[in-house]
Structure 1
């Protein structure tokens, strides 16, 4: 009896940890069309927090985005609070049913995304430089527009299933 109770408690705990599905946002507004939002100049402000919630690094990012049909380029220029700079160029393709795929030089393989309603979820592996080594970390990236100009982005970062921290970003489209 005790074993069964323990198994039920463990199952309930794991069910409580399950991530939402992007389809749960299908009726939410405003609808997020990546091609429309990430088109032109977009500015962003963000921070990385470790798993304890401590702010480790702050940053700004300027994006120059352009689309030709279903093919897009998102050129990101990051400036970090420690003075370092980084550039990432995403090459994104829109597929059927709200799906997207993307590549960037520091992304291992291909990123996959799914949009539904006002939400876009990206999953990818990032080659992250850490103290002279490169870690391959998994990124679970969720984007939600507030209105036609502001979009909020939260990314959970993990390695071997262990949560390392979160990236929180706010984006604003330039007029």
Structure 2
């Protein structure tokens, strides 16, 4: 299991851990217009699934803006940034920051993705920082559980994994 800290303190995560080679777990989250979204909404595309605690924090904001810039350069790839932020807050943040090339999705209702991907921090009811690359047949090809939630992921490794996935 991933050992993750938040501000140096260990957090409790679900007993699930996604690994390279697994079939990507399904999930139900909300889009910014309150529509239910699942893995099936992105059938046939490579998915870069990014989980963050909140778009309103420095590292999460920088990370989401970085992947938004990169998303415009990727073919047949959908970037999904998932947090526990309310859909309204996500939409407001995207408008204020000019983020248009990725989907921000809210897991606040059921914590479905957080549970299925092993990133729901029980102590905070926030998602830990992680990256999952899922190919067009929904096989997981890359996983990074960032050990300290307040640090950045390995952007280059994630982007290389996205480019290698089909």
TM-score (norm 2): 0.30
Structure holding more helix per residue = 2
Normalized against structure 1, the TM-score is what?
0.29
> More strand per residue: 1 or 2?
1
